[in-house]
Amino acid sequence: MPHQIDLDRKALTRHLTFSQGHRTCPGNGISR
């Protein structure tokens, strides 16, 4: 978990999502 937010970082499209890709969050049903 990051300790700071950098909105000007170079890889803005590299992030984790709740329901897409192979890193699907197991709690995505609860968050909806």
Encoded amino acid at 9, one letter? R
Encoded amino acid at 11, one letter? A
Q: Is residue 14 part of a domain?
A: yes
Q: Is residue 2 part of a domain?
A: no
Per-residue pLDDT of the chain (32 residues; tens, 9 = 90+): 568 877 787 776 666 565 566 666 677 677 66
Cα separation values, 13 from 10, 17, 32, Å: 9, 11, 23
Range of the domain at 11: 7-32
Q: Is residue 25 part of a domain?
A: yes
| Residue 21: DSSP 8-state | S
Q: What's the whole-model pTM score?
A: 0.23
Q: How many domains does the chain have?
A: 1
For residue 9, the model assigns a pLDDT of 75
